[in-house]
Chain A
């Protein structure tokens, strides 16, 4: 599990990055390898967000079409490869979920692309690498507030939905979530 050193990217991350760069050069074999290595993690994310197998399968297919289409932009974004892939997947799944709920709102699609891991310890190592501090920092927030951040990230809930969920006015939820995010950021950079 400990394939990532805090000093730099793990060998596994480098391999995923190389695959993405080859995909940018329209290398189909590399695309299949990237799919084999990362589709299980991404599918897990789709299932978590969409909670519907058929919809998660559709989303995963669309996500890999995006990965193929946008791989050439990857190198410029400064994100680690699994972060890029997972964020593409998460944002796409959230967009789908919001479309299903027909909630108005800006698409997340512009914000990033995603794809992640493969089954097995290697993928888990990629996914956890040297991040993970956020989990610790979330633990320092009040449970309700940590829960709201999680819901926004993994369930795409917006301020109006969160306000209804916690039975507080919109402005109140906005203020307390923003404060929580600032606290989270302070903890993360500590």
Chain B
């Protein structure tokens, strides 16, 4: 049990962190301490809630319309079409929160502090689709765990054939990421040598004989392609 001065010391520290008064080294040390201390995280959340009230008397000002169009251009320029709301849900990120959620819950995720078993946090997403849109595979890449999660949304191999996944970086030839197993969702570990290619590269799926391409390059039809873009 902490005595009073220590409690005060700790509260002052939390407030200094929330205000941004700590040096980078001090802030980092404090974040490390918070990562393993739910009580500290809860106290921090209380400070944040309180300090936000200092903005209560700031009047809302409608921003010019150009801000929204720039935001939209920045986020969606590369993909003006549809959005796939089902994807993150399938990655296990379905909403479970409520406003009144206890402040002590896993706050760590929020401030980028590693927790014991890191969840799958895709930084890149690709929708690998055929030209006619009937063949759809979703993929997400989490650089932290070097895992590529592949979800077959609508993707059946041809009879007695398999689907093989490829990554293409720039003008380089396709490199195989492996034959897709039957499972609807599969996590593929990405070898170090290919992690750079995956981040921002193009994914492609080709039709191959059982066991995959015998040549190391796609031999059958390329069924679908899609770029991995930063989420």
Contacts and interface: CB of A to CB of B under 8 A. Distances in A.
Interface in A53-101: 57, 60-61, 64-65, 68-69, 72-83, 86-87, 90-91, 94
Interface string A87-124: 10011001000000000011110111000111110011
Contact of A43 (B23, B63, B87): B63
Contacts of B93: 24-25, 72
A15 to B, nearest CB: 10
A43 B60 contact: yes
Contacts of B76: 28
Interface string B49-92: 11111111011111110111011001110000001111111000
B120 to A, nearest CB: 11
Contacts of A78: 41-42, 45, 101-105, 107
A141 interface: no
Nearest to B113: A110
Contacts, number: 219
Given A73-B110, A78-B102, A182-B11, A47 B61 contact: yes
A83 B97 contact: no
A76 B60 contact: no
A25 B85 contact: yes
A78 B104 CA distance: 7
Nearest to B59: A44
**Interface size grouping (class) on chain B:** 35 or more
Size category of the A interface is 35 or more
B67 A83 contact: no
Q: Is the interface of A mostly helix, strand, loop or mixed?
A: helix
A149 interface: yes
B48 A178 contact: no
B58 A41 contact: yes
B60 A40 contact: yes
A87 B48 contact: yes
A45 B52 CA distance: 11
16 contacts: A13-B99, A17-B99, A18-B95, A43-B60, A65-B74, A69-B231, A76-B109, A79-B45, A87-B52, A105-B23, A111-B18, A127-B55, A128-B56, A152-B19, A185-B12, A185-B47
Given A26-B88, A90-B55, A135-B54, 10 more contacts: A40-B63, A48-B55, A57-B64, A60-B67, A61-B67, A76-B107, A78-B45, A94-B20, A111-B20, A152-B19
